[in-house]
Structure formats: C-alpha cells, structure tokens
Amino acid sequence: MNNDHLKVWDACLKVIKDNLPLQAFKTWFEPIVPVRLDNYAMTLQVPSHFFYEWLEENYIDLLRKVIKKELGAEGRLEYSIVMENNTTKSTPYTVKLPALNKKSLKNQPVNMPLNISENQIRNPFIIPGLKKVNVESNLNPAYSFENFVEGDCNRLARASGYAVANKPGGTAFNPLLIYGGVGLGKTHLAHSIGIAIKNQFPNKTVLYVGSEKFAHQFIDAIKNNTTADFIHFYQMIDVLIMDDVQFFAGKEKTQDVFFHIFNHLHQNGKQIILTSDKPPVEMQGMEQRLLSRFKWGLSADLSTPDLETRIAILEKKMYGNGIELPSDVVEYLAYSINTNIREMEGALTSLLAQASLNKKSISLDLARQMVDKFVKNTAREVSIEYIQKVVSDYFDLPVEMLKSKTRKREVVQARQISMYFSKRMTKSSLANIGAHCGGKDHATVLHACRTVMNLSETDKQFRGYLEDLEKKLTLQ
C-alpha cells in the first residue's frame, strides 16, 4: 500500500476540486505534495506552518471526508511541514494527527516553534522578542470621535465606524473600508475607531499601521529570513487598521502576504479596518482575490464637506485651542478652501500665527491676504461644489437647477458640463459626481462626458463655453 500514496492523493484531489472554487483549490491544494502512505496514514508535505494551520482551520472537514472515502474508517492524516531556517535547505518536521474516525478527537494545530533557531515571534515594531500586551497601537489620541465633526459628507462612514468600535469583529462591517480624497478625514476616523475600541476593550490588541510601513517591514523580514515571524505577529492582532491600502498596488508579494494575514484575521473574527483614496472598483494594480475581500464588508466614502460642516470643523478646532474669531473670517476660510480639511485647518493655523507674529488683529482683510498666499503656494484640486457654482454663474442659473430633475435644454447642458469638469478636475468617483448632480448614476455621468466631448469637436460656440469655464476654474 506504501506505493499507492500518489494514486490515493490524486483521487482525493479530484473530489476536492469538485467542491472548491478553482482559485482556492490552486492556492491551498496544488502546492501539497503526498509523501507516503503507511498503515492507513497519509503524509502530506505542506510549505509552511501557516499553510498547515490554514488547512486545519478551513478545510479539515473536507480533508476528513476524502481521506475516509479513499482509506476507510481507519484513515489518518499527517503533515510534513517545511520550516525555513538560516541554512540554505528547508527542514521538514511531522505533525501527527488522530485517526479520522474518532469523533471525540479533532485535528488541532500543534504549538510548534515558528523557527527552528528561535523560540519567540519577532515583532516588526519592537525587536527583539514579543509579548502581546507590549504591542504599541500607534494611535494618535487627538484623533478621537469627540474631535470628528459629523456631516452629510461622512455620516455613513462615521456611523459604521462607531458600530465597529462597539462590537469589533461582530458586525457585518468587516472589513470596514473608508475611502475618500486627500485630507477628508480617513486617517482621523480610523484612529477614532481604534481609540474607542481600546477604551472599551482594553484587553484587545489594536494596531494602526500605514501600508508603506507594512511593505517595508515585509521586505526586512524577507532579508532577515523571518517571514514566518512577521506573518504570525500580524495574525495575533485583534483589530488591524491598515492605512492607504492603495499603496499595495503593483507589489505582488506584499499583496500576497497581506492576503494570507487578512484571511486568517477574518476567519477568526478579528476586525479589519482599511483606508484608501478610492473604492475597490477603481483600484488599479491590485489582485482580484484581494479586491474581492475588500468588498466583503462595507465600503463607506468620505466626500467633500459642505460649507456648514467646514464651518463646524473650524469652530471645533478654535474651541479646542481656546480661541475665537469673527464669524465672517471663519466663513471666508471655509468658503475659500473647500476640498481639503487638512489644508483648511492649516490655513487657520497660518492665520493665527501671522496675526500673533505681526501683532495684528484678525480681520477679514488679513484673512484674504493670507488665503491668497496660501492658495498660491498650495496645489489643490477643484471641488465639485466649486465647479457647479462657476458653471451655474456662467450660464446665469441657480445651483439648485443643476441638481434638479428638470430636462430643460440649457439646464441639461450646464449639468453635463459640470459633470465633465468634475470628472476631469477632481478625484471623485463617477457615482459621487452623479450624487452631487441630483442623484444620477455613473452611466449618466459617462454619457454626459461623452456628449460634452462630441459637442466640443463639432460646435464652435460650445467649445468657447468650455474654454471660458476652464480659465475660470483654473484661476480659482
């Protein structure tokens, strides 16, 4: 029977392949090598301890059934696990598991050293050694829910974040992906969730890490031959907050290791929070299997805040710093800098510093001078709001008309032009642009852009409209 291990495993694979998605089969079963069949014990060689644990956690029932089908009730399963060490060769060791027909016994992962030459997991943040309680969360206490101003632009994201904070890993929002443009509060909200979880569940290990830092740690782990430790460190986290996941684009090996970490955490009910500058459907250079997992939970967007929310943000910052400004100055700042909350707060700080250093009182004139200099020195994108205002002023229409359902020719044309410039000059998604134009869908926005392009090629007067508007928008 010892010579039949290949034949038996091949028969097992045929059944397994019929019961799994093709990608899962290729990922988790094609790398397995049948080593021997001895006294009803099938030994399978797997490439790592992590691989072994994943099979045990996710596919043990299926493995039991196929082994029992081929070998009978006495069939047993053993793993030969290849462990990487500091030598050029890989050393296998064997984990023996109980007979498959004993219902009182289950195949359980066996606690083995992660590396033959080491007894502790290497913490990429604190080297050497690791105790779970010593993991620094890397959370900024200033980025709390109390300091996060709610508005229409962020209500869904904030509400879902608050739900996650009250029940990490126990809601349908896992993963929770928060996306939006630069400076709209993604990082602030992610930190807020982490801080709230730490306050309510002090025994949970919460970790905030930027995607670039994660990638650099992974590179270091490869160089130092400590990849297994790196993976197991992240598998121990209860709440993982990964900032700017779009930076994984094009990094195939980093995406692959994050894919395995993601699967392990999600499978074990751990909470995953991600931020990105765009929704999964618009991410380029990312593996489809990873993007599909990003869509498992909830994707909540942060859009550009309206004027009232921007004023509330400035007033919150002023209150926190114990200062007071004239209402016309606050409104001017909120109206002038409308695409990036971080820039708006920076403008407020600059205004306060300028007034203090020059011993001037803060007035509307001083604010105008400061904003003119600040805007000139800051590369910023135009907002959908601003585009709509410029277009409606140009055609002498109320902004509300662009957002209405009216089909009047002049309104439709102005609406299409605002969609066209919004797509060209902002990083907003088509869905977001449509939402700003009366709840239109992305197909309507695409149609509008094509219509504008076609008219600009055939209608000289229309092309003049576009040229005038582009000048006005670029000179904002």
List, for the chain, all residue ranges whose pLDDT scores fall below the cut of 50.
1, 84-93, 95-120, 127-133, 376-379, 476
The helix/strand/coil state of 444 is helix
Q: What is the pLDDT of residue 37?
A: 85
CATH assignment at residue 163? 3.40.50.300
Provide the β-strand partners of residue 273: 176, 241
Number of Cβ atoms within 10 Å of the Cβ of 394: 15
Tell me phi and psi for residue 459, to 5 degrees.
Answer: -120, 110
Q: Does 390 lie in the same domain as 312?
A: no
Q: What is the pLDDT of residue 116?
A: 33
Q: What is the pLDDT of residue 82?
A: 66
Which residue segment(s) compose the domain that 12 sits in? 2-96
Q: Does 297 lie in the same domain as 161?
A: yes
Residue 172 to residue 130: CA distance in whole angstroms: 31
Task: Examine the fold and report which residue of 302, 330, 354 is the final residue of a domain before the chain moves on.
Answer: 302
What letter does residue 121 receive in the DSSP assignment?
Answer: P
Q: What is the pLDDT of residue 329?
A: 78
Residue 366 tokens, joined: 């001083």
Residue identified by tokens 């700080």 is 349
CATH assignment at residue 358? 1.10.8.60
Residue 291 tokens, joined: 């993007």
Residue 423 to residue 55: CA distance in whole angstroms: 46
325 residue type, one letter: L
What pTM, to 2 d.p., does this model score? 0.50
Q: What is the pLDDT of residue 245?
A: 92
Helix (H) or strand (E) holding 204: none
Q: Does 278 lie in the same domain as 334?
A: no
Angstrom distances, CA of residue 388 to CA of 104, 256, 306, 456, 463: 68, 42, 13, 19, 18
279: preceding bond cis by omega (within 30 degrees)? no
Task: Examine the fold and report which residue of 79, 96, 113 is the final residue of a domain before the chain moves on.
Answer: 96
Does residue 188 form part of some domain? yes
**Tell me: the pLDDT tens digits for 84-137?**
443 333 344 454 444 444 333 333 333 333 333 334 455 565 544 434 445 788
Residue 87 tokens, joined: 């030598």
Are the CB atoms for 47 and 91 separated by under 8 Å?
no
Q: What is the pLDDT of residue 374?
A: 60
